[in-house]
Copies of this chain bind each other. A is one copy, B any other.
Amino acid sequence: MNILLTRELKTCFEQLSIDKTCRVVVLTGAGKAFTSGIDVKYLSTVALGELSQIDDSARKALHLRRMIKRTQSCLRAVDQCEKPAIAAIHGHCLGAGVDLSVCCDIRYSSCDTTFSIKEVDMSLAADVGTLQILAKSITNHSLFRELVFTARTFDTNEAQQIGLLSRVFDTREAVLHAAINLASAIARKSPVATLGSKIQLHYARDHSSDDNFNFVSTWNSGMLLLKIL
């Protein structure tokens, strides 16, 4: 993944979000892996290039802050897509690959996938999803912190232990097959009900129970009535 790919991701998911002919998205890696993460060299070349044109160090920091926010907005386009997104994972899922999978709603993986929350190895705190979204829904915080602090690789067993995956399959083909089957099942449901559910789930991630009940009553009163009328 480099800056070009993340921008394309954004454009692509923003279009799918409003495309009437699309009901579900399956995201997979074309080659040997889901993704080995950000192409750090490329990123730092771009970053260093842009930064070197700025004299003042405080302005450099502001520019860097905008660059981080720009990358965040690319991956968040996946998170905020109005259609459910399923990640079909195989091979490697490293660094920003974990962030990208976390921005999807559902994750299936083949059993041989290697995972790693690599950011500490790059001397930084993960800033495009893993510590921002996944940290809010993780299953075993003790194990999760171990993986974050050591940046060591882990397999699908540990990935399931932290609640990252719903299912694990023997082969890459089986993953993709199951993901497409699941996508078909979702696509047969009312897209308004699916979207309403996704919006509720995102809302619940960041709001109190009282807020959740209030929000859904407002949403459903409009949507249900339109259906009845």
Contacts and interface: CB of A to CB of B under 8 A. Distances in A.
A1 interface: no
A124 B220 contact: yes
Interface string A31-57: 000000000000000011001000011
A194 B149 contact: yes
Contacts of A215: 215, 218
A84 interface: yes
Interface residues of A, number: 98
Contact of A124 (B121, B125, B224): B224
Nearest to A163: B140
Interface in A172-229: 182, 185-186, 189-190, 192-201, 204-213, 215-229
A204 B146 contact: no
Given A145-B105, A150-B186, A220-B68, A131 B48 contact: no
Count of chain copies: 6
A185 B152 contact: yes
A8 interface: no
A5 interface: no
B142 A217 contact: no
Nearest to A149: B186
Most buried by B among A131, A142, A151, A205: A142
A227 B207 CA distance: 30
A48 B153 CA distance: 41
A19 interface: no
A209 B61 contact: no
Nearest to A60: B225
Interface string A144-169: 01101111100000000001111100
Given A139-B140, A213-B72, A213-B76, A119 B193 contact: yes
Q: Which 5 A-B pairs have the closest CB atoms?
A: A222-B222, A125-B196, A65-B221, A206-B208, A143-B166
8 contacts: A58-B223, A64-B224, A106-B143, A131-B204, A132-B209, A148-B197, A218-B219, A222-B225
